[in-house]
Amino acid sequence: MDKVDRADTTDIAAQDTPLHEQALEEEAFSDIFPEILPITVRMPTPLTLPALPGQAKRRGKLDTTTSPPDAEEIAPNYHATVHDIPADDRPRERLQRQGADMLTTSDLLAIILRTGTHRDNVIELSTNLLAKYGGLSGLMAADFYDLCATYGLGPAKTAQLKASLELGKRLSMVPAEKRYQITSADDAARLIRMEMMYLDHEELHIMLLDTRNQVIECIKRYKGTVNSSVLRIAEVLRPAITRNSPRIIICHNHPSGDPTPSNEDIDVTRQLAEAAKLLDIELLDHLIIGNPRYLSLKERLGW
């Protein structure tokens, strides 16, 4: 029994010796190099560097070129807005600071339109419209649907534009209810000029006056070429008869802008004067509205 126990003990000691020696060696190594311990290696976090000159973030992508991008590189769904313009240069802010009279026509138009299109900001859009149609007069005369299709303007902006131009035209005219009194050809032209000078076709209007030369009503009678072959004298004078107007002034426009009377203009005027006289109606004048001038046929013909 004692032999067996000693043998077992010897075997166990033989097995334990290497482990014991290994433990002693590790302890001695730790005493000599205490600072060397197991460490956890971590990958460094990438640094975000500030943009260099010529670099800009557009649409979530970093432009690493050193020159401005070409127009083709800009995303096709980019919408130019007035916010791309410095705040001090925006039309609405300038109007607040300086007053409306200090703004250009394109600036005022930009305020009316409010926003641009997919291609142009609102100032570029206004400038392009004025250039294409030759100014406000061209915009006033332009067809609604033609404007809608121009530069992607659309019906909403076209309606805003047309309404604003119409308000401006009406502001320049004296309301009929004030019974505006005509004392000269200038008075009559001032009343009707803004309504007719921008038309792209001929129209004939008639002013009905009372015995004191106060305006009763202004009526449009014809649209198209004014000549004796299509003009019916009785139809022109009918409103004066039905409204008991003793005096009238005839007005028609020349879309060319030149108010010089044609032979047809002179013939029609004489026919109207003679027919009106038979009906006890006085034809005070016949105005030809041009742009920007007008002409009085009474002064020219001296009837």
185 and 133, same domain (yes or no): no
| Start-end of H helices in 134-232 | 136-141, 144-149, 154-171, 185-196
Radius of gyration of the chain (CA): 45
264 and 205, same domain (yes or no): yes
| 83 falls within a domain | yes
187 and 126, same domain (yes or no): no
Cβ neighbours, 10 Å, residue 218: 18
Query: Where is the domain boundary, 170, 205, 230?
Result: 170
In tens digits, the chain (303 residues) has pLDDT values of 444 444 454 454 445 555 555 555 555 555 555 555 555 555 555 555 555 444 444 444 444 444 544 443 444 445 556 676 788 788 889 899 888 888 999 999 999 999 888 888 888 999 999 999 988 888 988 999 999 998 888 999 999 999 999 888 777 665 545 678 999 999 999 999 988 998 889 999 999 999 999 999 899 988 877 665 567 888 899 999 988 999 999 999 999 999 999 999 999 999 999 999 999 999 999 999 999 999 999 999 887
186 and 284, same domain (yes or no): yes
139 and 163, same domain (yes or no): yes
The whole domain housing 182 covers: 176-301
Q: In what order do the strands lie in the sheet with 247-253?
A: 215-223, 203-209, 247-253, 282-289, 294-296
Total domain count, the chain: 2
Query: Where is the domain boundary, 148, 170, 192?
Result: 170
Query: Where is the domain boundary, 170, 203, 238?
Result: 170
Tell me the whole-structure pTM to 2 decimals.
0.51
- Rounded to the nearest 10 degrees, what angle do helices 263-278 and 233-242 cross at? 40
SS3 108: helix
The CATH code of the domain that includes 287 is 3.40.140.10
